[in-house]
Amino acid sequence: MDRKIRIFDTTLRDGEQAPGCSMNIKDKVRVARQLEKLGVDVIEAGFAIASPGDFESVQAVAAAVEKPIVASLARAVKEDIDRAWGAVKEAKNPMIHTFIATSDIHMEHKLKMTREQVLERTKEMVSYAKSFCDNVEFSAEDASRSELDFLCKVFEVAIKAGANVLNIPDTVGYSTPGEFQEFTKYCMENVKGIEDVIVSVHCHNDLGLGVANSLAAVEVGATQVECTVNGLGERAGNASLEEIVMTLNTRKDYYGVSCNINTEQIYPTSRMVSSTTGQPVQANKAIVGENAFAHEAGIHQHGILANRATYEIMTPESVGIQGHKMVLGKHSGKHALGERLSSMGYNLDKDALSGVFAEFKKLCDTKKNVDDRDLEALVGEFTHTENQIYRLESFETTSGNMIESNAVVTLTIEDDEITKQAKGDGPVDAAFKAIEKICGKDFLLETYRIHAVTEGEDAMGMVDVKMAIDGRSYKGRGVSTDIIESSIRACLDALNRAR
């Protein structure tokens, strides 16, 4: 019988910590429901004590899903654990995930604690968490840079105090696969009682080895992998859920393990997370990137036409990329649109479908045919712009090589409609300056990227921006067949995230 690997998804906690990728409560609930549909075993919904908003979002996720365990992170501090339990206690399957650093560099410079104090704190706080909840995970922060025998002592204390999951994190992405495998194996062989608990790993991607390190640990007995959709996360990100899952599935002959993930929901989940966070997926990203199943070289194309297995070790359909494209147009009805969106993983309620349908009809006036990529962009645009403070009503721009560019922009801010005019270095710059006047906020455009969603002269243009607002960076995304409108919508998306 195959060993079962639990998938612990931390997109809503660790993934959200990526700069500019914060999500509101509605965003988190929508992504959590998709993660449940994907089949993850654990959803880490947030860090409840971090802010009132984080507490409320963990509560909302706990109420929204039924099958997955819902966890909140907590430092090994009573106040954190109280707050975590308050946020998850109504979940069908609640978990408190508490942690303390165990590396000398962290204990000396961050915690200002001795090894003996860390051991005592671990015992006290794991016991305290266990008094609330049967599911308690203990993480040794910066484990991969900790002295091994001391780490084993900490883990033994955590097990005796009631932890039923032990997590070995490579917190700063420092380890290499062979090294991390031996490190994990040593813990498996030298921690008393470890055979009675779930052994988890949480690997960051600072050296690009997050997935490789996670899989190396699975080979020597780890039974839970902590990861994020699209590898989202702080710095270089976390181990990528889709890469771990599809490696285990595709190379089942080698790993001999299985997991509960519905792989056909991988691509829809990836696209939902991308559109919700405003974080684009790189074209050459394994499994879910635009080029993951694209073939341009002649010899590759010839092989694919003869037999897809010549150059594809998995099928697009296995991860939820449809082999066919249903072309929709201005004569298509709401029912047809709803059916197509449902097959793509978007189960919208009646009001949301009506809203997307209205935008779909507008798009049909400017595009002859609307395909799946257009629909993904439309749904992403609609779901994270509804009920926002700043909304675009209209704009006009003039530009040329002999005149200074000018823009007139009208926004609705709650119930007020405000129009401002500004000049700038090009129509986009002028429009952004007009928005600054309306909102009363100064912002700095840090990055600006544009790409076509589909092919052809009537293609939708997607603009991704990163803007510095009030000392923090926020990402925004806008979609339209008019690139100036896409730019304005991206700017407003970032401003709405910053409010």
Q: Cα angle vertex 488, ends 487, 493, to 5°?
A: 95
> What is the pLDDT, as a whole number, of residue 266?
96
User: Could you write out the DSSP letters of every residue in 412-455?
Assistant: EETTEEEEEEEEESSHHHHHHHHHHHHHT--EEEEEEEEEESSS
Nearest-angstrom CA–CA distance, 174 and 204: 8
Q: pLDDT tens for the chain, 499 residues: list them.
A: 579 999 999 999 999 888 777 788 988 999 999 999 999 999 999 999 999 999 999 999 999 999 999 999 999 999 999 999 999 999 999 999 999 999 999 999 999 999 999 999 999 999 999 999 999 999 999 999 999 999 999 999 999 999 999 999 999 999 999 999 999 999 999 999 999 999 999 999 999 999 999 999 999 999 999 999 999 998 999 999 999 999 999 999 999 999 999 999 999 999 899 988 878 888 899 999 888 776 545 554 456 456 666 667 888 888 888 754 455 777 777 877 887 787 776 777 888 888 888 888 877 777 666 777 777 777 766 765 666 788 899 999 999 988 999 999 999 988 889 999 999 999 999 999 999 999 988 899 999 999 877 666 667 788 989 999 888 888 888 888 889 999 999 999 888 888 7
Cβ atoms of 384 and 493 within 8 Å: the answer is yes
Which residues have a Cβ under 8 Å from the Cβ of 199 and sit 6 or more positions away? 165, 166, 168, 184, 187, 188, 221, 222, 223, 224
End-to-end CA distance of the chain: 52
Q: What are the Cα distances from residue 101, in Å, to 122, 156, 167?
A: 10, 15, 12
pLDDT of residue 456: 66
Phi first, then psi, for residue 117 (nearest 5°) are: -70, -40
Going from the C-alpha of 315 to that of each of 56, 58, 304, 311, the distances in angstroms are 40, 35, 11, 10
CATH 3.40.640.10 given to domain 390-498? no
Helix 52-64 to helix 25-38 angle (10° resolution) is 40
Predicted pLDDT of residue 125: 98
pTM above 0.85, yes or no: no
pLDDT at 387: 62
At 357, list the tokens. Answer: 């349908």
Predicted confidence at residue 304, as pLDDT, reads 47
Let me know if 283 is exposed, middle or buried by CB neighbors in 10 A (0-12, 13-18, 19+).
Answer: exposed
Strands 461-469 vs 443-452: parallel, antiparallel or unpaired? antiparallel
Residue 413's alpha-carbon distances to 61, 379, 499, in angstroms, are 29, 23, 12
| CA gap 230, 282 in Å, rounded | 9
Q: What is the CATH number of domain 3-277?
A: 3.20.20.70
Q: Give residue limits of the domains in the chain.
A: 3-277, 293-323, 324-383, 390-498
Residue 324: its pLDDT value, please? 46
Q: Give the per-residue pLDDT at 395.
A: 96
Check residue 295 and give its pLDDT: 52
Contact 144, 169 (CB under 8 A): yes
According to the model, what pLDDT value does residue 86 have? Answer: 98
Nearest Cα to Cα of residue 334 among 362, 349, 356: 356
Using DSSP, state whether 461 is helix, strand or coil: strand
Q: How far is CA 40 from CA 31, 49, 171, 193, 227, in A?
A: 12, 24, 22, 26, 10
Longest dimension (CA), the chain: 78
β-strands 472-480, 461-469 pairing: antiparallel
